[in-house]
Amino acid sequence: MRNPQLNRHGELTHLITTEGLSRQILTHILDTANTFVPLAQRDVKKVPLLRGKSVFNLFFENSTRTRTTFEIAAARLSADVFNLNINVSSASKGETLLDTIANLAAMQADIFVVRHEASGAPFLIARHVAPHIHVVNAGDGRHAHPTQALLDMYTIRHFKKDFTNLRVAIVGDILHSRVARSNIHALTTLGVPEVRAIAPLTLLPSGIEQMGVRVFSDIKEGLKDVDVIIMLRLQNERMRGALLPSAHEYFKHYGLTQEKLALAKSDAIVMHPGPMNRGVEIDSAVADGPHAVILDQVNFGIAVRMAVMSIVAGASA
Amino acid sequence: MRNPQLNRHGELTHLITTEGLSRQILTHILDTANTFVPLAQRDVKKVPLLRGKSVFNLFFENSTRTRTTFEIAAARLSADVFNLNINVSSASKGETLLDTIANLAAMQADIFVVRHEASGAPFLIARHVAPHIHVVNAGDGRHAHPTQALLDMYTIRHFKKDFTNLRVAIVGDILHSRVARSNIHALTTLGVPEVRAIAPLTLLPSGIEQMGVRVFSDIKEGLKDVDVIIMLRLQNERMRGALLPSAHEYFKHYGLTQEKLALAKSDAIVMHPGPMNRGVEIDSAVADGPHAVILDQVNFGIAVRMAVMSIVAGASA
Amino acid sequence: MRNPQLNRHGELTHLITTEGLSRQILTHILDTANTFVPLAQRDVKKVPLLRGKSVFNLFFENSTRTRTTFEIAAARLSADVFNLNINVSSASKGETLLDTIANLAAMQADIFVVRHEASGAPFLIARHVAPHIHVVNAGDGRHAHPTQALLDMYTIRHFKKDFTNLRVAIVGDILHSRVARSNIHALTTLGVPEVRAIAPLTLLPSGIEQMGVRVFSDIKEGLKDVDVIIMLRLQNERMRGALLPSAHEYFKHYGLTQEKLALAKSDAIVMHPGPMNRGVEIDSAVADGPHAVILDQVNFGIAVRMAVMSIVAGASA
């Protein structure tokens, strides 16, 4: 069976998940992003690639920041962008998701950027739209956040050049993290020989070893000699939940401090998808220190989203 | 007295209601829309007709979908669009409607697209703005929804070619429907010889016969040999109100099923302004069946709104 | 110490407050605005000065109207504008203000337009951004509202030509007004010989005389022979508070009526930053009368904001 993200020519027509995408496709996205990064330094930060195309930001779950990065990326491709917060709209009027989508598609959309609290919603949408419409997943439930993973891959490649000799640690609430899942798939596909998952046992999904990951519950062991550290955000609700004793306790054991960072390689980079909880998952001295590449991730994120939108929009129908 | 939607040259300068507009003006809008429909297939779906003009979406009542259709239409005319949800703004600061409008007009607006829960608000605004500003009604109370009626007319003309030999049935909550009112005026003006209103007696406005409409409370009689069926949305609050026993009961008597549809002409089209309540006013088999032209309505709606905005903006001041 | 709004070449790189800006800089802004005012009459109301630049509207405090004026000004400079209502976003996720700003800056922002309920927030932001990013204060707490003051100065100059022979009265809730503070600084710098503050004692900040202002608690004395009257908005919460007996009582003593207006010069102009409380701080006969220039203020406000954004964006990094 064909990967549902590819059309019959094998071109990327939707981006739903990094799972199952080939190294060649991931690399093509990173290479395309590379051509957009220098735009940021230019006086006019735009290219006419998507002029006259319509990008719909469909955010069924609120996220001003992610929505804004897609809005910026689309504007820099010269597309027209329309923002729809769907929770205050049709969803409350009893319309089904697929009717909402069919309606918006009839408004001659070219790209749907979808964030949804339900895992699988972007895939469901992609299955039901006409072939000239492209779906980009901006985060669905605990399932996937592929553009975040791709910008993380871009950042790693930028600083480390080669994936095939790296040790990468992902630290934190892996159980609830779509970022972790998407990163593990991408890292593995791109040839990273050792991916580590560092988390308390209550925040580890069962069977994660089958994704090709080494599991550590002791962060000091886990960080030893790694090249890349990907910190995950700890959602507020976890700090009060049954899974963790307290934010303070979490920081003590899993918060990234300079002391713990010293166990990694001396040129290790520290990443975080934001927004950060300083003093919970990461210490300010690390967040603002020389190893952190967190703002580079944000910067590269615009170019990566431009790359994804221009690639899927260019796929033949 | 001159129709307040026309300027002294008889040109359409505001669109407030289909009532009182001549067949010539309605046809001019449909013909203009016709020139915009092919844009949807083009690579760059834009024309520069309103470049540098400012369209203000003034939504005193929330409606993401209708707002979005106007936003898309304005963007495809190359206008700058500014969205204002007024309920969260000045209205709560004690400012009068006319002061709000005067202020926005002073920001050099060209077109106000107005949705308001009060019938007559767009007309009040049109009476108070300078002649170079144009008002388009996007739905006011129970009064009028002229762009919906015009896209319905476009859809009917597209599929049936000629208005003068048609039987058109409007089915549902006619009492509360601005769509029904605007459609009845447009259909009558365009020469439809027989317009039928099908509804329970509690959802029929008194005196509707004086609009030139035949009334039916039995849907099976009403649908007999019709060419066009316009279903109306049943607002959620009606289903719990005193006017109707229940949504289930309503569907049994007035919901459009394949069985009832079979009473109409074999090439009848089924329309709905959306969002649909499947299983309340319409059965899924009909909504997704070959007679439904509901998504065509949405598609044509963009072109019709482009036509209306470009026509009023082109009227001499 | 250098004024933090100026770069090392003495150019305006941020606009945080009118306090401390030279007459030359204020005049340069007004002169630049003057070149944009005629745009409103043109068919295409745009200039390409900020094409490909990114303006972020960061409204930590809701204000649809002010946000819209900046959005219009940026669109007319051909910039891409991104609206962020931050209260519903990262702020609620525990991120610090400076992390939010650093993130948005990494998205390659050029201008931040900031409204914040905390006095000093725009200055804090300006201190932490890279030199190629420019901050424009759209109102911070009780501190400053410099673009409102500048559009007031533009309006005064438009109608009165020369600042150096004017008596200007500011009337109302001066204690809580960032508009009053910014106006007093600008008027004084531009050479207005007599600025009067007219307010009940409970709504006067202590030490205001040290700003070079003559204080009047009797409006009839205060308005005598003035050329310009700047009315301030009375916030709803003041009307119920301990500082004032009632809105009705306030109107009786400080509301601007035709009778009180007759005490000013016969060609006096009446200004108000909006939104107006008719019958509280101003009588409708005055608001709609021949002395009012309130809508001119709004009109000029677009040009002044275009001027400010184009000037700061043009400052060398």
Cα separation, C111 vs A160, in Å, equals 32
- Say which of A53, A88, A94 has its CB closest to residue B64: A88
CATH of B23-144+298-314, one of 3.40.50.10490, 3.90.226.10, 3.40.50.1370, 2.130.10.10: 3.40.50.1370
Three state DSSP letters for A120-131: CHHHHHHHHCCC
**Domain definitions of chain B by residue range:** 23-144+298-314, 146-297
Q: What ipTM, to 2 d.p.?
A: 0.93
CATH level 3 topology of C23-145+300-314 = Rossmann fold (3.40.50)
**Does the pLDDT at position A245 exceed 90?**
no
Q: Give the confidence band of C290 by pLDDT, cuts at 50, 70, 90.
A: very high
Q: Across the interface, do A95 and B275 touch by the CB < 8 Å criterion?
A: yes
Any idea which architecture A146-294 has in CATH? 3-Layer(aba) Sandwich (3.40)
pLDDT tens digits along A18-59: 999 999 999 999 999 999 999 988 989 999 999 999 999 999
**Does the pLDDT at position B198 exceed 60?**
yes
**Which residues of chain B have a CB within 8 Å of the CB of C40?**
108
Lookup: tokens for A111: 């790209």
Residue A272: what pLDDT?
A: 98
Mean pLDDT score of chain A: 94
**Which residues of chain B have a CB within 8 Å of the CB of C296?**
106
What is the average per-residue pLDDT within C40-44?
Answer: 89
Residue A4: what pLDDT?
A: 92
- Say which of B42, B278, B302 has its CB closest to residue A107: B302
**Does the pLDDT at position C197 exceed 90?**
yes
Distance from CA of C26 to the nearest CA of A (A): 27
Question: Which residue of the set C23, C65, C220, C252 is catalytic?
Answer: C65
Q: Do residues A36 and A61 lie in contact, with contact meaning Cβ atoms separated by under 8 Å?
A: no
A278 catalytic, yes or no? no
Residue C221: what pLDDT?
A: 98
Q: Across the interface, do C278 and B96 touch by the CB < 8 Å criterion?
A: yes
- Intrachain domains C23-145+300-314 and C146-297 with the same fold: yes
Higher pLDDT, A61 or C305: C305
Interface test with C, best of A50, A68, A88, A306 (most C CBs within 10 A): A68
Angle at C82 between CA C77 and CA C87, to 5 degrees: 135
Higher pLDDT, B207 or C270: C270
A160 catalytic, yes or no? no
Chains with 3 or more CB pairs under 8 A to chain A: B, C
Q: List the single residue in B with minimal CA-CA distance to A101.
A: B295
Q: Give the confidence band of B91 by pLDDT, cuts at 50, 70, 90.
A: low
Residue A246: what pLDDT?
A: 86
Tell me which H or E stretch contains B308: helix B294-314
**Does the pLDDT at position B85 exceed 90?**
no
R_g of chain A, CA atoms, integer Å: 19
Residue C89: what pLDDT?
A: 52
Burial of B30-63, coded b for 16+ CB within 10 Å and e otherwise, reads bebbbebbebbeeeebbbebbebbbbbbbbbbeb
Cα separation, C261 vs C279, in Å, equals 15
Question: Of B120-124, B217-221, B283-287, C82-86, which range is least confident?
Answer: C82-86
B93 catalytic, yes or no? yes
Q: Which residue in this structure is represented by tokens 């129709």?
A: B3
A65 catalytic, yes or no? yes
C93 catalytic, yes or no? yes
Record the pTM. Answer: 0.95
> Cis (ω within 30 of 0) for the bond into C275?
yes
Distance from CA of C131 to the nearest CA of A (A): 14
Number of residues that make up chain C: 317
- Say which of C51, C82, C99 has its CB closest to residue A275: C99
Distance from CA of B294 to the nearest CA of C (A): 33
- Say which of B51, B84, B99 has its CB closest to residue C44: B51
Q: List the single residue in A with minimal CA-CA distance to B44.
A: A52
What is the average per-residue pLDDT within C256-263?
Answer: 98
Question: Which residue of the set C13, C17, C18, C66 is catalytic?
Answer: C66
**Does the pLDDT at position A287 exceed 70?**
yes
Cα separation, C150 vs C306, in Å, equals 12
Q: Tell me, what DSSP letter sits at residue C208?
A: G
**Does the pLDDT at position B215 exceed 70?**
yes
Q: Do residues B103 and C65 lie in contact, with contact meaning Cβ atoms separated by under 8 Å?
A: yes
Residue B90: what pLDDT?
A: 52
Q: Which residues pair with C256 in a beta bridge?
A: C282
Q: Which 3 state secondary structure label does DSSP give C167?
A: strand
Q: Do residues B82 and B291 lie in contact, with contact meaning Cβ atoms separated by under 8 Å?
A: no
Residue A90: what pLDDT?
A: 52
R_g of chain B, CA atoms, integer Å: 19
**Does the pLDDT at position B196 exceed 60?**
yes
**Which residues of chain A have a CB within 8 Å of the CB of B276?**
95, 99
Q: Which residues pair with A137 in a beta bridge?
A: A114
Contacts of B301 (CB under 8 A, 6+ apart): A107, B69, B147, B148, B151
Q: Tell me, what DSSP letter sits at residue B251?
A: H
Cα separation, A82 vs B70, in Å, equals 11
Question: Which residue of the set C76, C116, C134, C145 is catalytic?
Answer: C145
What is the average per-residue pLDDT within A236-255?
Answer: 82
Q: Which residue in this structure is represented by tokens 């106007």?
A: B70
Residue C91: what pLDDT?
A: 55
Q: What torsion, rounded to 10 degrees, do the Cα atoms B62, B67, B69, B75 define?
A: -160
pLDDT tens digits along B9-37: 999 999 999 999 999 999 999 999 999 99
**Does the pLDDT at position A89 exceed 60?**
no
Q: Do residues B47 and B78 lie in contact, with contact meaning Cβ atoms separated by under 8 Å?
A: yes
For domain C146-297, give the CATH number: 3.40.50.1370
Chains with 3 or more CB pairs under 8 A to chain B: A, C
Q: List the single residue in B with minimal CA-CA distance to C69.
A: B107
Q: Do residues B103 and B129 lie in contact, with contact meaning Cβ atoms separated by under 8 Å?
A: no
Q: Do residues A134 and A6 lie in contact, with contact meaning Cβ atoms separated by under 8 Å?
A: no
Higher pLDDT, A84 or B106: B106
pLDDT tens digits along C129-177: 999 999 999 999 999 999 999 999 999 999 999 999 999 999 999 999 9
Distance from CA of C202 to the nearest CA of B (A): 23
Q: Across the interface, do B99 and C275 touch by the CB < 8 Å criterion?
A: yes
Spell out the alpha helix ranges (H) of chain A.
Answer: 23-36, 64-76, 97-106, 121-128, 146-160, 178-189, 219-222, 236-240, 247-254, 258-261, 284-287, 294-314
Cα separation, B53 vs B310, in Å, equals 11
Q: List the single residue in A with minimal CA-CA distance to B47.
A: A52
Question: Which residue of the set A145, A178, A196, A233 is catalytic?
Answer: A145
Residue C18: what pLDDT?
A: 98
What is the average per-residue pLDDT within C100-112?
Answer: 95
Cα separation, A198 vs A255, in Å, equals 11
